[in-house]
Every structure is written in structure tokens, then in C-alpha cells.
């Protein structure tokens, strides 16, 4: 099941790892996807496309 979100972003953190943050409301708070860190940005992007349903 896909998570319905408004927007997501991929953030670079220490040691060259990337994590995904998302928000569900226009003026909402950014939430971090727990237990998911990626070694490359394309892998993070692919995971987001697979698991998020972006509200347009």
C-alpha cells in the first residue's frame, strides 16, 4: 500500500548516506522515513516512487 503524501525530499546526511523526508499537509512538518537510509540518491528516488502516492 502506498503512503499518500503531499511532497517528499531526499536529504544527504553524514557518510554519504541519503534519507527521505515527507509531509502530508501544505504547511505541515517534515517527517523522516524511519529505518531507511540509502547509499545513493537514485536508490532513494526509486524507493520513493514505489512507496509514495503523491497528492497533486
More confident residue, 52 or 54: 52
Tell me what the mean pLDDT of segment 32-47 comes to. Answer: 93
Query: Phi first, then psi: what are they for 44, rounded to 5°?
Result: -65, -40
Mean model confidence pLDDT for the chain:
90
Which segments of the chain does DSSP mark as H helices, in order?
Answer: 41-51
Sign of the alpha-carbon dihedral angle for 9, 11, 17, 19: negative
Read off the pLDDT band of 40 (50, 70, 90): very high
Question: Can you give the pLDDT at residue 44?
Answer: 94
Tell me what the mean pLDDT of segment 5-34 comes to. Answer: 91
Amino acid at each position: 500500500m502506498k503512503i499518500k503524501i503531499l511532497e517528499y525530499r531526499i536529504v544527504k546526511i553524514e557518510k554519504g548516506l541519503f534519507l527521505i523526508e515527507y509531509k502530508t499537509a501544505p504547511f505541515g512538518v517534515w517527517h523522516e522515513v524511519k529505518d531507511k537510509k540509502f547509499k545513493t540518491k537514485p536508490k532513494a528516488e526509486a524507493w520513493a516512487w514505489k512507496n509514495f502516492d503523491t497528492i497533486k
